[in-house]
Amino acid sequence: MSTSISSRQAATDGVPMPQRMWAILTIALGLTLAVLDGGIANVALPTIAREVHTSPANSIWVVNAYQLVVTISLLPLSSLGEIYGYRRIYQIGLVLFTLASLACALSSSLPTLIVARMLQGLGAAGIMSVNSALIRFIYPRRWLGRGVGLNATVGSIASALGPSVASVILSVAPWPYLFAVNVPLGVLGAVIALRTLPLTPLSGGKFDLGSAVLQALAFGMLLFGVSEMGHGDSWLRVAVEMAIAAVSGFVLVVRQLSRTAPLLPVDLLRIPLFALSVTTSICSFIAQAVAQVSMPFLFEHRFQLDQVMTGLLMTPWPLVVAVIAPFTGRLADKYSAGLLGGGGLVVMGLGLLAMALLPNHPTTFDIVWRMTVCGIGFGFFNTPNNRAIILAAPPIRTGGASGMQATARLLGQTTGAALVALVFTAFPSTGPTVALFIAAAVAVGAACVSFSRLAAG
């Protein structure tokens, strides 16, 4: 493992073995930590609220603070990656994430825990903002689909195992250990990253601090507004937040139009394949979030299943995505993302429709095969779409593409969760079923957008 790799070598066609193997390992390790901590705290919220003497409503900020900082930091950090190198941003992000995890474990009050979680979110954003960009330079181009597929496998497994890992840790140790376990793994990942991640071409530009502030304001107010809309908060307050988001976003876009490497990648959004792939991503993650937020309520309220069985029945979807991601990655190297993604989203839509039409007393098999269909459909969409987003951008703008890919996912998930809250308010007794019908319709709409890429080239 050597650090003497030039930018030119890294930019040609991947890095050689065994360096590639170690680089893949640190990327997988960092992604696992970031994804796990995105949801692992959910399971511990009641315990945390009790032990730091706060209300359940206030404890939710342990999760919200992390997600908000991740979302508003992705694009600025991906821009910094283009300027100073993806490897450097990844390393700093992993070190910050590790130190913040230690701070979370040592926190004894809600304010200190929230601050530590915000720093942890900033570190996670450093990892996720340049994750896909590094993959482009680690793998040979002909194997990029495999690399993206492996990344999807790691992310899906981490997402699926999150609640189980949290439950196991909490069964033998207090909640601070949820964060303490990150420290040795983070140190290991940082050491490997220092010695194996490739150097990449630098853009030579300057960081646009004004645009970073504007996009943080735009995305932050948008997420607050969407979340409060879903929870039935004051419409006047929501309107003010949405107005601030709209004005900030408009000023941001105008500011970006004259820049050669804009922080908000409006230059990449002029590329039809990139714009359609990002749109497909947002729509598909809305459908996924609507389904995955509403299904636990369907299982527990309508079918009277316990929490353990609900968790088990939610597992087939991400598990199937993890299993087929390497296969779809190989297909993505040969076939159009528009075709694979569109077909996958149609299958996902049919699976969601089948979930909405479940009988009142379904067997375990009735649910499992439907969840499996959803997982197969999403798996055929996810890897090819991620590959299309990264390859649609010029190599020097890979950071912008990587940041936009992660931002699209988070925007879709946040919007989907808020949509479920709105549906549950409008349909108190049949909310989960109505939400699944909506998820199926959104998935089919996303499929139409995906198929339109066949004409875009």
Higher pLDDT, 30 or 165: 30
Who wins on pLDDT, 433 or 68?
433
C-alpha to C-alpha distance for 147 and 325, rounded to whole angstroms: 10
Predicted local distance difference test score (pLDDT) of residue 56: 64
Q: Which of 207-221, 256-270, 415-429 has the highest mean pLDDT?
A: 207-221
pLDDT, residue 39, reads 64
Residue that wins the pLDDT comparison between 125 and 413: 125
pTM exceeds cut of 0.85: no
Question: What per-residue confidence (pLDDT) applies to 233?
Answer: 66
Percent of the chain beyond pLDDT 70?
92
441 by DSSP, 3-state: which? helix
Handedness of CA 139, 144, 146, 148 (dihedral sign): positive
Tens digit of each residue's pLDDT (9 = 90 or more) over 127-186: 988 887 888 888 887 787 777 777 777 876 777 677 677 777 877 888 888 899 899 999
Which residue is listed with tokens 């073995």? 17
DSSP for residue 430: T
- 449 Cβ partners below 8 Å, 6+ apart? 276, 279, 280, 283
Instruction: Give alpha helix (H) positions in 56-204.
Output: 56-59, 61-84, 86-106, 110-138, 144-172, 177-180, 182-196
Model pLDDT, residue 42: 66
The pLDDT of 216-241, averaged and rounded, is 79
pLDDT digits (tens, 9 = 90+) for 375-394: 999 999 988 898 888 888 88
Query: 155 vs 221, which has greater pLDDT?
Result: 221
- According to the model, what pLDDT value does residue 109 have? 87
- Return the biggest CA–CA distance within the chain: 63
The predicted pLDDT at position 457 comes to 58
Tell me the average pLDDT of the chain: 84
**pLDDT score recorded for residue 2:** 39
Query: Which long-range contacts (C-beta less than 8 Å, at least 24 apart) are formed by 5-11?
Result: 5/198, 5/199, 6/199, 7/199, 7/200, 7/201, 7/202, 9/198, 9/199, 10/137, 10/198, 10/199, 10/200, 10/201, 11/137, 11/200, 11/201, 11/395
Query: What average pLDDT does the segment 57-63 reach?
Result: 72
Which residue would you say has higher pLDDT here, 233 or 342? Answer: 342
Q: Over the stretch 336-358, which tens digit does the pLDDT of each residue have? A: 889 999 999 999 999 999 999 99
- The predicted pLDDT at position 11 comes to 43
Structure-block tokens of residue 198: 């490739």
Tokens of 408: 């699209």
What pLDDT shows up at residue 43? 65
Residues in the chain: 457
Type of residue found at 244: I
Question: Does residue 58 have a pLDDT over 80?
Answer: no
CA 425/CA 211 separation, integer angstroms: 37
DSSP code of residue 263: S
Report which DSSP code applies to 2.
-
Question: Which pLDDT band holds residue 456 (cuts at 50, 70, 90)?
Answer: low
Amino acid at 395: P
